[in-house]
Amino acid sequence: MQPEPGDLQLELDSSPLAVRGALTEMTAYLRGRCPEEGLAVVEIVLAEALNNIVEHAYVGGSGRITLCLRAHAGDVQCCIADHGLPMPGGAAPAGRLRLPVPGGALPEGGFGWHLIRSLSQDVDYRRVSGRNYLSLRVQAGQ
């Protein structure tokens, strides 16, 4: 997605607090551009995508993350780039849920990509010249 005037563009450090700050800016940008319920959906999707970069792509280190966002006709188009490790297998995870088994051990993780896949469309991941590019679209309502 080529940047256009009116897009939100952010650059952040790979830390949980920086992610929180970016989500706050994103929420302020989208308020008035999409309904409150859609806004909550975008926040969950971006939180999971950004936290995954912090925890996995930049595991044991740190780096920069760029985020761009465009709201158009009820859709929010998002793209995220980082310099961290590639996704395992070179592809974005399918996000299959490990269903809780009665009496068995409950999973404490593995929910992130399930939430992203459940709440967004057109997920596209590419590794180009040592960078990760993730783009996706959230139907945030009119």
Nearest to 45 by CA among 127, 133, 142, 113: 113
**DSSP-based three-state secondary structure for 17:** helix
Residue nearer to another protein on the CB measure, 20 or 127: 20
Close Cβ partners of 101 (under 8 Å, ≥ 6 residues apart)? none
**Closest separation between CB of residue 139 and another protein, Å?**
14
CB atoms within 10 A of CB 2: 5
User: Which part of the chain contacts another protein (CB under 8 A), choosing from 15-23, 69-77, 84-92, 130-138?
Assistant: 15-23
Residues of this chain that interact with another protein (CB under 8 A) are 16-17, 19-20, 37, 40-41, 43-44, 47-48, 51, 54-55, 97, 99-100, 105-109, 111-112, 114-115, 118-119
